[in-house]
């Protein structure tokens, strides 16, 4: 499956909407899109993954790298719209304790 990333700036927050699957083949495209703002100091980023059906460890690596880079620059990352499966992936790896993550509404158990 293909991956699409939409980006916009709204009220000083860079918003990314990720659509598709994030795996070893599509992760470089996501990384490239996210890296368009990593040079900015104190940037606020929100990544909506409500339309991501699948993510593997390569995708998690992109999120971790992006988070670390923004943290070093005094920025903040929030990942929203995680379905239960993706949220569980962040939980199992302990990333939910490090990265600001939010489940999709109605997906809580």
Over pLDDT 70: what percentage of the chain? Answer: 95
For 71, the token pair is: 């943290």
Question: pTM for this structure?
Answer: 0.92
Could you report the per-residue pLDDT of 11-49, keeping only the tens digit for each? 889 999 999 999 999 999 999 999 999 999 999 999 999
Where do the H-state alpha helices sit in 6-95? Answer: 27-34, 57-72, 84-92
pLDDT at 109: 45
Q: In angstroms, rounded to a whole number, what is the distance separating the alpha carbons of residues 88 and 79? A: 13
Domains defined for the chain, CATH in brackets = 3-103 (3.30.750.24)
For 92, the token pair is: 């199992």
Q: In angstroms, rounded to a whole number, what is the distance separating the alpha carbons of residues 27 and 63? A: 10
For 74, the token pair is: 């005094």
Mean pLDDT, rounded, of the chain? 93
Could you report the per-residue pLDDT of 92-107, keeping only the tens digit for each? 999 999 999 998 876 5
pLDDT at 106: 66
């Amino acid at each position: 499956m293909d991956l699409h990333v939409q980006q916009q700036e709204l009220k000083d927050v860079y918003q990314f909407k990720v659509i598709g699957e994030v795996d070893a083949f599509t992760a470089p495209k996501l990384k490239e899109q996210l890296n368009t703002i990593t040079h900015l100091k104190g940037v606020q980023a929100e990544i909506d993954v409500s339309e991501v059906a699948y993510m593997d460890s390569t995708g998690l690596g992109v999120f971790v790298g992006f988070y670390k880079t923004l943290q070093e620059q005094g920025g903040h990352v929030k990942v929203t719209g995680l379905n239960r499966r993706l949220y569980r992936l962040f939980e199992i790896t302990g990333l939910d304790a490090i990265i600001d993550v939010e489940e999709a509404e109605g997906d809580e158990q």
